[in-house]
Structure 1
Amino acid sequence: MNIIPTIILSFFCLSASGQAVPSEGLPKNWHLLDWQEDGFPGAGVEKAYKLLLNDKKPSRQVIVAIIDSGVDYDHPDLKNVVWENKKEIAGNGLDDDKNGYTDDLHGWNFVGNTEAGTVEVIREYIRLRKNFETEKDSAILAKKEGYAYWKKVLEGKVQFFEENRENQKSLESTLRDYKILFDFYKNKTGKDSVDYQMLLAFPVPADADTLLQASYRNRLEAFSQPWLAGVSLNERLTIFQDLAARVSKTVSIADSMIAHNDVTYFSAKEKITAPDVDSGKAYGNNISLPRDDHGTACAGIVAAQRNNGVGMDGVADNVLIMPIRIFITAQVDEIDKDVAHAIEYAVDNGARIINISFGKYFSPQKNQVDKAVQYAEKKGVLIVCAAGNEASNMDSIPMFPTAKYLDNKIATNLIKVGATSSDSSLVAYYSNYGKKSIDVFAPGSDIYTTARDGKYITDSGASFAAPIVSGIAALLWSYYPSLNYKEIRSCIERSATPASLTVTKPGSEERVPFSSLSRTGGIVNAYKALNFAKEIAAKK
């Protein structure tokens, strides 16, 4: 199994440890360009500004909630577009607006200062083990209520540890090879930076040490992988060392929670209750700053200040970002009650669009999330969700949150977004898909966007396709505020540009029509969506 996809797909983004690694010759803003006009299969955003919005001013500022790992709201490209709760007096320790959250000037942090977390299947194993592990009689066990679900949890737990420990071994092998190669080329050339061209220009001699020859054979091809194109050998060492540390920590945290039989082991001092115990909304704190780049990257795609001569441009030009933090980093599964309360917070504080660039395969308190989605639906708030990066069919393997409620009714306000690439492959090799479950595709690979501490990264994943759709929704609403959420959704889906192409279905070698991978069969297009919005608004 290829180590890189195995690790990063579960992380919902394909970050190279904060390294900016754009594909050679690819414009940094390719995702905003237009297929017909510019030759890149982007979302037609720049064309929309140039041809439709050049002489217009937006009618209303739209709030987009980024429910994620937090947002660096001091970033130069974001500081002027971050939502501020004007009903709160900063730092006075009071809940001035009586919304249940004290000093929530820039959103809320539902995880508080929790030190670490894990995936849902580990939390479920700990929650349920007392009901099943003590029973040794297999006949009695099989008759217990919830046994079928318990078996799925056990299978997931085993898979979690098997995959992560396989990843650890593979990373050790990769690091050993890169270290051997780096030492050889540094000694040979006297240079600290070793790139692909150097490896080609100075191949390892045939009479070299066996380990050195093996390392060269093992890693030469890896230098052509798109996600690491242009990254030097020494930079790769840093990237893989970071990945190895993250995988090791992931396993260690899960082991600790299981050993202590406590899902709150890393959050107990925060007085945060177990995931299945809802003790009210006002837990956590008001510090929504992040520990990773994920939420900041999503925020930048939606709303990085346009035409300010700094970094990059977001999709929408009259938007405010509301940061809501519900997980520590993108490697930790969100907790259902946090998702529910985050959605409710966003709706109650004026968000019209909620961006959700996360997901998981177990949702034990889905009823709470369903109620929150229904609440948003009732209030006319649109929710945009990333499809996920496991290259799987969501029609058969759902990733939560889903548009389908527990009563099998369908949420009309939830859009699922798959990811496309910038090259001829079109569909991103990692993207989830589904003719019934994925509504549209949007650019998700090689996206240049904001990161923590005023920096920028180039990153890939369905996580970054969703905020493009959120940005387009905000753009439509800011220029056509009379439209309701169903009309906004209709404009986005009708805009989806069909591609009469055969593509490789993610996770396989099967060639299928691109149109078969989603409900609309196309890639969102801001230019077309604005034209549809104009038509609808004119009839009102």
Structure 2
Amino acid sequence: MKNTRPFYLSSILALALASCGGTQKMVTVDATKIDQMPLKTTKLTDKQLQRWSHLDLVKDTVPGMSVDMAYAELLKGKKANKIIVAVVDSGIDIEHEDLKANIWTNPKEIAGNKKDDDNNGYVDDLHGWNFLGDSDNEQLELTRIVKKGNDGSVQYENALAELTKKKTELEPQKQQLDMILAAEAAVAKQLGKSDYTLAEVKAIKATDQGMMQSQAIISQVLAQFPDKKAFDAEMKEYKDYVYDQLNYNLNVEFDGRKPVGDNPYDINDKKYGNANVIGPKKESGKHGTHVAGIIAQVRGNNKGGDGVASDVVKIMACRAVPNGDEYDKDIALAIRYAVDNGAKVINGSFGKSFSPNKQWVYDAIKYAESKDVLFVHAAGNDAEDIDVANNFPNDAEPKGAEFADNVLTIGALNYEYGSGLMANFSNYGKENVDIFAPGVKIYATTPNNTYEYLQGTSMASPNVAGVAALIRAYYPSLTASQVKHIIMDSGTPLNNTITLAGETGGQTTLGAISKTGKIVNAYNALILAEKTVKK
């Protein structure tokens, strides 16, 4: 998983709810009038925000995927097959109260007998497989390339340049972080407590220069947060990001693979990992647990959010994404494991800029295609044009020529309708991003029976994987390729001007930055699926 700086979202205006009748026709929007639709002057309520990705653009004036409308008008009383969705990620808290009912169990495996009962090469793989064993933190791929030494290749030169750039950019961030943390500690010592208010900070009667400076720093920073608790949470996230980068991701001396015991550069060395799909600690599976929840957290139980396809899915856990960049070998074998053990949809919320053994992953994707398995992949969070910038894995090598027709690459939407529709971190690409889906402020499961808002194309991808699972559950005769194109063809096309992701911004349209120029619409997709089957 490419380690990008956490996204800090300020308060933004949300959208009013409006009533609109619905029939079983494809939902359309007059794209020329999109900016004239009613915009709210107040925030979405917590309840609305927690499930905004399920709302409808026309009915609710929120750019969600029309999931609620699909359940209410198309799926009620309809029979469906159970679909296995593999989540290739950081690990999943399969004991979570809102997920455990929808976790896949290998019917051919006897729990805990230390035998490979189904002869699939994995001992006691009751709920999936952990390809990382007891490892957790990892280097970025570019760091691993530099660590190997100068082989005279362009890849080494590019990796070294990128590593140097990242370290240079990180240094002032570390200095700023350390300054704030030192000031926070000084203020806490002065007040005799760590939980204090802005008013209490301002009331300090500082007598020395150091305390005056600490007081000024914390007053300025704390004013940006509703309370000290919110400040602490965000500082912890930022501290983890900075020091994980320095200690693990960009540290050429670090060896995160040692606990695994395999050779990560030998695709035939397959006897590694274990059956603990949660990972060595639940907290490390936050990303994967959240991704799984978007797809499968139980609908309508008043806990957390609602899963897009919770009524029809079983989640297969494939732990292969560390705190750093994933190894090509792990991803390739995880995809093959998912395919061989019955998954019909695979979600891949990971990605990186260097991929020395990318062909292993490409071959696995083509293997999935041969077995009729759909692979849904996050476009990435660097606000880059991935028609130009490297982003692995992909389905076009060389770029522009797709080698498989079972891959969907997903960009991220914001819930702010109008010019702010595109998530300000999302990658894009006219050729390499297929379609956009909700990816900002997505509420879902996190370890130890908790729930959080997270954001990224990592959240947009499972939203679409959930829609794909619905289609495959209710229309099992459709192929992976057909499901891919149904999702693309049935999306809502938008032609309005939006702000391009990235620091420089600029104006663009979805049509200029994605293959379809559309946002995913579950309601439309299910209607088109039925029409396709009837044909």
Q: Does 1:95 align with 2:116?
A: yes
Instruction: State the partner residue of 1:376.
Output: 368
Paired residue total: 489
Q: Does 1:522 align with 2:523?
A: no
1:538 Cα offset (Å)? 1.2
1:252 Cα offset (Å)? 2.1
Percent identity of the aligned residues? 36
Instruction: State the partner residue of 1:227.
Output: none
1:157 Cα offset (Å)? 1.7
Superposed, 1:123-522 pairs within 5 Å as: 123-129=144-150, 131=151, 144=152, 146=153, 148-176=154-182, 192=195, 194=197, 211=213, 214-215=216-217, 218-219=220-221, 222-223=224-225, 230=226, 232-253=227-248, 258-259=252-253, 265-273=255-263, 275-290=264-279, 291-316=284-309, 317-329=311-323, 332-405=324-397, 408-424=401-417, 425-507=420-502, 508-522=504-518
Map Cα deviations across residues 341-397 of structure 1 (whole Å, 9 max, x no partner).
000000000000000001000000011011101100111110000011111111110
**Could you tell me which amino acid in structure 2 is paired with residue 300 of structure 1?**
G
Instruction: State the partner residue of 2:39.
Output: none
Partners of 2:8 and 2:88 in 1: CA distance: 19
1:409 Cα offset (Å)? 4.1
Partners of 2:532 and 2:169 in 1: CA distance: 50
1:238 Cα offset (Å)? 3.9
Partners of 2:274 and 2:523 in 1: CA distance: 40
Q: Does 1:42 align with 2:64?
A: yes
CA contact (8 A) 1:178 1:237 kept: no
1:537 Cα offset (Å)? 1.1
1:437 Cα offset (Å)? 1.0
Secondary structure, aligned partner of 1:67: strand
Map Cα deviations across residues 270-318 of structure 1 (whole Å, 9 max, x no partner).
3221x32234323111111042310000000011122334332100120
Partners of 1:255 and 1:299 in 2: CA distance: 28
TM-score, normalising length: structure 1: 0.84
1:267 Cα offset (Å)? 3.0
CA contact (8 A) 1:353 1:473 kept: yes
Map Cα deviations across residues 461-487 of structure 1 (whole Å, 9 max, x no partner).
110000000000000111111111121
Secondary structure, aligned partner of 1:52: helix
Secondary structure, aligned partner of 2:444: strand
CA contact (8 A) 1:302 1:471 kept: yes
CA contact (8 A) 1:64 1:353 kept: yes
CA contact (8 A) 1:10 1:390 kept: no
1:246 Cα offset (Å)? 4.1
**Could you tell me which amino acid in structure 2 is paired with residue 268 of structure 1?**
K
C-alpha distance 77-95 of structure 1, shift in aligned 2 (>3 A): same
Secondary structure, aligned partner of 1:80: helix
C-alpha distance 533-296 of structure 1, shift in aligned 2 (>3 A): same
1:513 Cα offset (Å)? 2.0
Query: Structure 2, unaligned stretches of length 5 or more?
Result: 10-42
Instruction: State the partner residue of 1:25.
Output: 45
1:41 Cα offset (Å)? 1.0
Partners of 1:71 and 1:15 in 2: CA distance: 24
C-alpha distance 323-502 of structure 1, shift in aligned 2 (>3 A): same
Partners of 1:335 and 1:478 in 2: CA distance: 32
Partners of 2:317 and 2:194 in 1: CA distance: 43
Partners of 1:470 and 1:483 in 2: CA distance: 15
**Where in structure 1 do 4 or more consecutive aligned residues deviate above 6 Å?**
180-184, 202-205
C-alpha distance 430-104 of structure 1, shift in aligned 2 (>3 A): same
CA contact (8 A) 1:179 1:237 kept: no
Secondary structure, aligned partner of 1:167: helix
**Could you tell me which amino acid in structure 1 is paired with residue 270 of structure 2?**
K
**Could you tell me which amino acid in structure 2 is paired with residue 397 of structure 1?**
A
Secondary structure, aligned partner of 2:179: helix
C-alpha distance 241-77 of structure 1, shift in aligned 2 (>3 A): closer
C-alpha distance 13-420 of structure 1, shift in aligned 2 (>3 A): farther
Query: Structure 1, unaligned stretches of length 5 or more?
Result: 1-7, 17-22, 132-143, 224-229
**Could you tell me which amino acid in structure 2 is paired with residue 34 of structure 1?**
D
C-alpha distance 472-379 of structure 1, shift in aligned 2 (>3 A): same
1:105 Cα offset (Å)? 0.4
Map Cα deviations across residues 133-191 of structure 1 (whole Å, 9 max, x no partner).
xxxxxxxxxxx5x2x2221011022123223333212222343565677789x79xx99
CA contact (8 A) 1:88 1:96 kept: yes
TM-score, normalising length: structure 2: 0.84
